[in-house]
Every structure is written in C-alpha cells, then in structure tokens.
Chains A and B, each alone.
Chain A
Amino acid sequence: MYDVIAETVRIEGTRILATLIRTVGDVQLAEDAVQDATLAALRAWPATGIPPEPRAWLTVTARRKAIDILRRERARADKERAGTELVELTQSALESPETVQDDLLRLIFTCCHPTLSPPTRVALALRTLCGLSPAAIADVMLTSEAATAKRLTRARQKIAAANIPYRVPPAAELADRLPAVCAVIHSLYTSGHAPATGEAAYDVDLCTEAIRLAELLHGLLPEQPMPSAVLALLLLTEARRPARLDAAGDVVTLDLQDRTLWDAAAISRGIALLNDSLERSGRQADPYQLQAAIAAEHARAPAYSITDWREIVRLYALLLSVAPTPAAKLAHAVATAEADGPSAGLALLEHQEGARTHAVRADLLARLQRYAEAIDELSNAEPATAAERRHHERRMQDFSRRSSCRGRC
C-alpha cells in the first residue's frame, strides 16, 4: 500500500510541479510547495486511502502551500511579489490535461536547456521530472549528496537569475533543442543499465525512469523522429534485460543469452517505433536511429549464429560517421570480428585504450588461440562491477587452462 502511495505521489508530484513552476515563476518555490504537499499526502493517505483524484488533491494542497510560502516571504522581507501569482493560485479550476501536458514539455525543455551543463541537466531531470531525492541522484551520478544539492541549487539560481525562459522552443528551434533532451534520457538509461561502479550489474529503477521519460517525450511530441528513436532504442535494449543476468547475478553475454526470455512485445513495439521514426526523418539517420537499428537487428536474429553481422557492421560504420564514441568503435570491432574473423576485429582495436577494449581484445586473442596475450590483456581490464569481475575471473581461468594444453582441449 505504502509503495503505491509513494509512487502515485512521486509521479503526480512531477505533473503538478510543472504547472506550479509556470504559475509562480520560481522553480525553488514550486518545488518547496510540491514537497510540502507530497509530505502531507504521505501522512494522510495511509489512513484515508488514495483519494479518487490524487492529482486534484495534490494540486489544491500544493497551491495552498505555495500561497503560505508567498505570504510568509512577504511578511518576512519587503520582497514584493506580483499579486497576480496569488490571484492565479487561488483560482479553484484545475488545469486542463492539455495545459498539464504543455507545462510538462516546458519543464523538460527548461531542465535540458543548452545553457546548463550536461550533468546539471541530468541532475535536474532526475529531481524535477523523476522526483528523486538528492541522495538518490548522488548515488546515480556517482557523487556526494552535498555536491548534488549544491549543483541543484546553482541550477535553480541560474534559471532564475539568468532568466532561462520556461517555454517550449518554437517549432523552428525544436530540431536544435531536442538532441539535448534526448541525450539526458539516453544517459539516464545507460547509467542505469551499466553503472560505472557498484555491486549490481544494473539499476532497474533508473532504466524504468528513463523509459518513462522517453514515453512521456514521445507522447508529447509524437511527430518528432528523435524521441521515437530514443524510445525505440530503450525498448529494444530493455527487451533483452531478463536474459542479461543468470540466476547467480552473473553477466550472460549476447552469444549465450536465452532468447526466449527476451520481451517480444517490447521488441515489436521498438521496431515499429524505429520504422515510424525513419519514415518521418528524410535526412541522414541520427545516432539513436542507428543504435536502435542495430538493437533491432540483434532482436530479429533467432540465434546468435545467424545474426546478420554484415548489416550490423554497416550500421556501426554509419554510426561512427555521425557519432564516433569509444563504445561505438569497440562494438564496430566486435561486429567486424564476427563478420570477418577475429584478426579483422583486432586490427580495428590497435592503439585503442580503455578497460572494455582490453576485455574485448582478450576475447579475440583467445579465439586466435593466443592465450598468453589474452591473459595479459584481461589483467589490464579493470572490471567496473562485481558481476563483471566474476566474469573476468572465469575467463582468466579458462584462458590459463587452454594455454597449458595448447589448444588441444
């Protein structure tokens, strides 16, 4: 029961926050009021049950809290806020669903404004759009709670002092502004899917949050190709999640995954979204469309051995031409090794650094029965999670065993 209440409060809290920010014109004040309202709900609802219209309950309570805060501020200093805010707050009518949707979009574009640093955008999105506490955000962003609180405070100060407008960009600027929003959602998902440190191989919550935001953005801007591509990519990746870890919590690589565990519904929806996105964008494919296309290619293969590696190599080459990231370079080399043999893959990894590069090079060397070199490479690969460490240790033992019998076993 408590979890349902907490979840309702968190999700509805975000929606009413978006509208309250527009009404009072101050992120901090609106957050404080919503915070007060959610605390009131968490106190009252376990006894009374969730009201039939939780959003209405929270809206009315948050407005009342905002009025209290505004009155207190007025009494304390001669800080004269425009009376229009109080008038608007005391209006009894609830916003129409369209207004709430517009306000959510305003909030998304403000949190992901290009004048804020990328980590600040992520932190703000987690705070205002996902309703996570600074402590939870600090965990996700691998920093301290104090540093997160400071980052959020500075961001709110900048939004207020520099007057970052609370609005949806005009249609002509939308294409320029969407990449920043999509990057926030995508980085939320990847940090949930592969945390740089920690015990669990992935944090389910953050992936769910990212997908929720991707659904939200796609729902608000269904005509835009980039949000559909991001949602497609996330769904296609998430579809494989049930097969990524075994019962002991160890990583199962793609070649060994039980494909019957993959979420078929998520895969077909992801592919449909990707096709729709590609149809809507006439120009060159963006990185999300390409990554989704790669994920779709894996999802379509009934078994690892019949994966269309030529097509995947082609897609990675396209991806490298628009977004040459270290992860894409590595994946391109892995796909090339599958298509043209381990030596071709190794050739692409020359002079490349990074923990995962070492691990991949070790695997390719082992396939060429160069076990001593493989052991060398693997000992240079710093595992990020406990599950990855166990995986490395198993590989290491396997390599030494094969090395001692010179490939005859």
Chain B
Amino acid sequence: MTQYLVLTYTADVDWTAPEQAGELSEYQKFGIDHAAQIQAAAVLHPTSTATVVRVEGARGGQVVTTDGPYAETKEALTGYYLVEAENLEEAIAIASELPAAWNGAVEVRPVIQAR
C-alpha cells in the first residue's frame, strides 16, 4: 500500500458560503464513499485568509509575513485528502471521483514513508 496526498485545486471559493453547500455535499459524499482509504482530510478557507511567512537570512532572522497566497493562480489549493491506495492506478481512480477533477484539477503525490 502507498500513501498519497491528494490536493484539490479549484476556483478560490468560500466553502462556508451558503451557495457552496451543494458542492460541499458532493465532497462529503466522496468522503463517505472512500472512508476506508481516507486517513485525513481538510477543506481550506479561501486564499484571502492566507499568510505567507518568510524568515530573512537564516533561522532567528526577521520574520516577514505577507497577506494572501504564496502564488497567485487561477486555481487555488482548496483542500486535501491523505489517501492510502494499492498503487497509483487505484489512487487515480479515487481522485477522479472528486468534483475538483472536473471543476479544476487534482494533484496526486506519493508520501515518503517513515522507516
């Protein structure tokens, strides 16, 4: 078995807004359908709530923060799932059921296993 981080990239939406309720319920259904494989998951607040943190020079240097996301793109990181699957093909089959796969894009990344 291999662990994959499944990242959803979609329009930068506020999932707490009432108009998102319909789509959010599709994600909840996905979560129930794949409960056995999903080990962790999170839905994120919109990127307008994000803060980028940098430390100047080296450790202990001045902490500099910027308002907003790290990269301005049309599709924003809106959530993630930690999934355990037999292999990449199974992980792709699971990821392709996420609404983000047709509303945006889903990135599937293998997780380095602790030894």
Residue numbers of A with Cβ under 8 A of B are 79, 115, 161-165
Contact = CB atoms under 8 A, between A and B. Distances in A.
Interface in B69-110: 86-89, 92, 108-110
A165 B87 contact: yes
Contact of A163 (B87, B112, B115): B87
Contacts of A79: 115
B89 A162 contact: no
Contacts of B115: 79
A165 B2 contact: no
B19 to A, nearest CB: 35
Contacts of A162: 2, 4, 88, 108-110
Residue with the highest number of chain A CB atoms closer than 10 Å, among B89, B92, B112, B115: B89
Contacts of B89: 164-165
B92 A164 contact: no
Nearest to A160: B110
Given A115-B92, A162-B110, A165-B86, 13 more contacts: A115-B88, A161-B110, A162-B2, A162-B88, A162-B108, A163-B87, A163-B88, A163-B110, A164-B88, A164-B89, A165-B87, A165-B88, A165-B89
Interface of B is mostly: mixed
Interface in B1-16: 2, 4
A212 to B, nearest CB: 28
Residue with the highest number of chain B CB atoms closer than 10 Å, among A161, A162, A163, A165: A163
19 contacts: A79-B115, A115-B88, A115-B92, A161-B110, A161-B112, A162-B2, A162-B4, A162-B88, A162-B109, A162-B110, A163-B2, A163-B87, A163-B88, A163-B110, A164-B88, A164-B89, A165-B87, A165-B88, A165-B89
Contacts of B110: 161-163
A176 to B, nearest CB: 11
Contacts of A164: 87-89
Contacts of B108: 162
Contacts of B88: 115, 162-165
A164 B4 CA distance: 12
Interface of A is mostly: loop
Closest 9 pairs between A and B when the two form their complex, measured CB to CB: A163-B2, A165-B87, A162-B110, A163-B87, A161-B110, A162-B88, A164-B88, A163-B88, A165-B89
Contacts of B4: 162
A163 B109 CA distance: 11
A24 B103 CA distance: 40
Nearest to A78: B115
A170 to B, nearest CB: 10
Nearest to B4: A162
Contacts of B112: 161
Nearest to B111: A161
A181 to B, nearest CB: 16
A390 B109 CA distance: 51
Nearest to A166: B87
A163 B86 CA distance: 8
Contacts of A115: 88, 92
A161 B111 CA distance: 8
A163 B108 CA distance: 12
A257 B57 CA distance: 70
A165 B91 CA distance: 11
A161 B108 CA distance: 12
B39 to A, nearest CB: 16
Nearest to B109: A162
Contacts of B86: 165
A161 B3 CA distance: 10
A166 to B, nearest CB: 9
Nearest to B2: A163
Contacts of B109: 162
A115 B112 CA distance: 19
A106 to B, nearest CB: 13
Contacts of A161: 110, 112
A246 B101 CA distance: 54
Contacts of A165: 86-89
A161 B112 CA distance: 8
Nearest to B92: A115
B38 to A, nearest CB: 18
Nearest to B1: A163
Contacts of B2: 162-163
Nearest to B108: A162
